[in-house]
C-alpha cells in the first residue's frame, strides 16, 4: 500500500492509519462512560484529582452525569452515583472486591497476592463470626474495664487536642481487647513509640497503598517498626491459652487461620488487623464528640439521659450494659449521623468482565467506584443532608441491625466490614463514659474535614481542643463550644503529622 512512498512518509502514514482505525473501532465498540482524562499521558487527571479528590468527584458528576470515568496515574476509575450503578456495584458477579484491594494490601502490609486471595474469604468469615452481633456480650466487660483504666490516666481535669485524647483512649483499649492486654505495649517508652509509629503509618496509608516505599521514607520506617513489633509479640500471643475457647482474642482467631496456610505472613496480617481496628474508629469517635459538643441541646439531652440511666455522679466505676445502651439510643444515633457526614470518600471493586450500567459498558480492568461521602449527601435518602440530625435515625430498624436506605458507611455486599458491630459498641461505651465522668466543652469551633484522602473516614483539618473536668466537681449544666483560644494544651507524645523526606 505504501510501497511507492518515501520510507519516512510511509511510517507516518502507517501510524496515522493505525490511529484512524483505532478511533473507528472504538466508536463501533461498546459505548464507554464519559472520561475525565487530562492531557498528560499516564498521569491523566491525577494532578487535579490528587489536590482535592472529593471535590473533583462531585465536579465530574455535575459535568458528566451519574456515571463517569476518571483516568489518573494509569488507572481507570469509573464512578457510579445512582441506583442502577449502585446495584451493579453491590450485586454483580462481574465485579470483584478482593482483586480491587489485593495490590494495596501488598504495598501496605507485604501480603503477596496469592496468599491474600487464598485466605481472605476464610479470614473474613472468622472475623464476622467472632465479632457478630450475637457475640458482642463477650466484649462488654473488657471494654468497660479498659476504658475506666484509661480514663483514670486523664486525671480530674485538663485541656488537650481532642483527636489526641481519643487516640490516648482507643489505641490501648483496642489493642488490649483484640490482641491481648499488655502484650503489645508493655511499658511507657514502647507505648509512646507505638503511638508515634502507628499515627505515621495510618496517616500515610493511602499514599503507601499506591506509591513505592522509597518515596515515603518515614512511612516505610514506621511500617517496618510495627512489623518488627509483631514479629516479637506473636509467639506470646499464640502461646496464650484462655480458659474457654470462645474467650480467645480476635488476633488469636486470625492466627489460627493464617498459620495453617502461611505462617510466615502472620505479622503482616497482625498489622492489617491493627490498622483496620483503629484507622476509622478514632476519627469516628472524634467527629461524634465534636458534633455532640457543638450542639448544646443534644449535649444537654445526652448528659441528662446518662445521669438518668447510670446515676448523676461521675466518680463510680459503673458498667455500661446492653440494657443500658438500649436506653441511651440518642448516642448511637449521633454516632451513625457523624459517620454519615464523615463517611469514606470511596469504596471500590475490580471489573473482571465488561458490565453494562445505564447506556454504557464499563470495560474489564476498570476500578468501579462508589462514594459513600457523596451518596450520604443525596437528599433523596437524607433530607437536609448537610445538617447533623441524629433524630433521622428513629426511622431505622436498629434493633434488627438495619440502617437507613442509602447508608453505605460500612461497605456493602458480601464483604461488609466484619468489625462494624464491635466498632459501634466500642465507640458508644467510650462516649458514654467520657460524658459520664467529665463535663466537657470545646475551645475551638467545629473543624473542617481534610479533603486530601478518599480512603477511610476523614481526619479533621486543624486542631480542636477540649476542656474536661470531673463532673462531681462541676455544679453547672454542660456548656456549648467556646470561642477559639484558651489554655495551651499539654504536650503529647503523638506524632504531629506525617512528614515524608
Q: What is the DSSP letter of 387?
A: S
Chain centre distance of CA 468: 27
Q: Which residue's C-alpha cell is 472529593?
A: 54
Q: If we measure between CA atoms, which residue out of 97, 76, 100 comes closest to residue 361? A: 76
Q: Which residue's C-alpha cell is 475551645?
A: 443
Q: Which residue's C-alpha cell is 476464610?
A: 122
Which 3 state secondary structure label does DSSP give 240? coil
Q: What angle do CA 210, 378, 89 make, to 5 degrees?
A: 50
Calculate the dihedral angle through the C-alpha atoms of 434, 440, 445, 446, rounding to the nearest 10 degrees. 20
Containing 461, the helix (H) or strand (E) segment is strand 460-461
Dist CA 189 CA 142 (whole Å): 24
**Alpha-helix residue ranges (DSSP H) falling in 311-394:** 322-326, 329-341, 372-375
Which 3 state secondary structure label does DSSP give 79? strand
Phi, psi dihedrals of residue 463, rounded to the nearest 5°:
-85, 155
Region of residue 182 (phi > 0: left; psi between -120 and 50: alpha; otherwise: beta) = left
Which 3 state secondary structure label does DSSP give 160? strand
417 annotated among ligand-binding-site residues:
yes
Whether residue 430 contacts residue 147, with contact meaning beta carbons closer than 8 Å, is answered with yes
Q: E strands along 9-124, which residues?
A: 35-36, 67-72, 75-80, 95-96
Q: If we measure between CA atoms, which residue out of 448, 445, 451 comes closest to residue 466? A: 445
Q: If we measure between CA atoms, which residue out of 479, 484, 483 comes closest to residue 297? A: 479
Strands 448-449 and 157-161: unpaired
Q: Per the structure block, which three cell numbers stand in for 7?
A: 520510507
Q: Per the structure block, which three cell numbers stand in for 414?
A: 458480601
Phi, psi dihedrals of residue 57, rounded to the nearest 5°:
-60, -45
Dist CA 433 CA 422 (whole Å): 17
Dist CA 142 CA 324 (whole Å): 16
Number of Cβ within a 10 Å radius of residue 10: 14
397 annotated among ligand-binding-site residues:
no
Binding region for substrate: 280
Q: Which residues are annotated as a binding site?
A: 280, 417
| Residues annotated in a binding site for heme | 417
Amino acid at each position: 500500500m505504501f510501497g511507492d512512498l518515501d520510507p519516512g512518509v510511509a511510517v507516518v502514514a502507517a501510524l496515522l492509519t493505525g490511529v484512524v482505525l483505532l478511533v473507528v473501532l472504538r466508536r463501533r465498540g461498546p459505548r464507554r462512560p464519559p472520561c475525565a482524562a487530562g492531557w498528560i499521558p499516564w498521569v491523566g487527571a491525577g494532578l487535579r484529582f490528587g489536590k482535592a479528590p472529593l471535590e473533583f468527584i462531585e465536579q465530574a458528576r455535575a459535568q458528566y452525569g451519574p456515571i463517569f470515568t476518571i483516568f489518573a496515574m494509569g488507572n481507570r476509575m469509573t464512578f457510579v452515583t445512582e441506583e442502577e450503578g449502585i446495584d451493579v456495584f453491590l450485586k454483580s458477579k462481574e465485579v470483584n472486591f478482593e482483586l480491587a484491594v489485593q495490590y494495596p494490601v501488598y504495598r501496605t502490609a507485604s501480603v503477596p497476592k496469592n496468599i491474600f486471595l487464598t485466605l481472605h474469604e476464610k479470614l473474613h468469615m472468622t472475623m464476622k463470626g467472632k465479632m457478630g452481633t450475637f457475640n458482642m456480650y463477650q466484649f462488654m466487660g473488657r471494654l468497660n474495664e479498659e476504658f475506666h483504666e484509661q480514663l483514670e490516666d486523664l486525671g480530674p481535669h485538663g485541656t488537650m487536642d481532642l483527636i489526641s485524647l481519643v487516640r490516648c483512649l482507643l489505641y490501648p483499649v483496642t489493642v488490649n481487647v483484640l490482641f491481648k492486654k499488655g502484650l503489645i505495649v508493655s511499658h511507657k517508652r514502647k507505648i509512646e513509640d507505638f503511638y508515634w509509629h502507628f499515627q505515621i503509618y495510618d496517616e500515610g496509608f493511602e499514599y503507601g497503598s499506591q506509591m513505592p516505599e522509597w518515596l515515603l521514607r518515614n512511612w516505610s520506617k514506621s511500617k517496618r517498626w510495627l512489623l518488627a513489633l509483631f514479629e516479637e509479640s506473636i509467639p506470646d500471643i499464640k502461646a496464650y491459652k484462655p480458659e474457654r475457647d470462645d474467650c480467645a482474642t480476635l488476633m488469636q482467631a486470625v492466627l489460627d487461620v493464617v498459620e495453617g496456610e502461611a505462617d510466615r505472613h502472620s505479622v503482616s496480617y497482625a498489622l492489617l488487623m491493627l490498622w483496620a481496628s483503629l484507622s476509622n474508629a478514632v476519627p469516628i469517635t472524634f467527629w461524634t464528640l465534636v458534633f455532640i459538643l457543638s450542639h448544646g441541646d443534644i449535649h444537654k439531652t445526652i448528659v441528662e439521659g446518662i445521669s438518668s440511666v447510670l446515676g448523676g455522679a461521675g466518680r463510680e466505676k459503673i458498667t455500661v450494659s446492653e440494657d443500658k445502651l438500649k436506653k441511651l439510643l440518642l448516642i448511637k444515633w449521633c454516632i451513625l449521623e457523624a459517620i454519615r457526614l464523615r463517611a469514606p470518600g470511596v469504596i471500590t471493586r475490580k471489573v473482571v468482565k465488561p458490565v453494562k450500567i445505564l447506556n454504557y459498558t464499563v470495560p474489564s480492568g476498570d476500578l468501579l467506584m462508589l462514594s459513600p461521602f457523596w451518596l450520604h449527601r443525596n437528599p433523596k435518602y437524607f433530607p437536609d443532608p448537610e445538617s447533623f440530625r441524629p433524630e433521622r435515625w428513629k426511622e431505622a430498624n436498629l434493633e434488627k441491625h438495619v440502617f437507613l436506605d442509602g447508608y453505605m458507611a460500612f461497605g456493602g455486599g458480601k464483604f461488609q466490614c466484619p468489625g462494624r458491630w464491635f466498632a459501634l459498641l466500642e465507640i458508644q461505651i467510650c462516649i458514654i463514659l467520657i460524658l459520664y465522668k467529665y463535663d466537657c466543652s470545646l475551645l475551638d469551633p467545629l473543624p473542617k474535614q481534610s479533603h486530601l484522602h478518599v480512603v477511610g473516614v476523614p481526619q479533621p483539618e486543624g486542631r480542636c481542643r477540649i476542656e474536661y473536668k470531673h463532673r462531681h466537681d462541676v455544679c453547672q449544666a454542660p456548656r456549648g463550644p467556646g470561642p477559639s483560644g484558651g489554655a495551651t494544651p499539654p504536650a503529647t507524645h503523638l506524632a504531629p503529622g506525617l512528614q515524608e523526606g
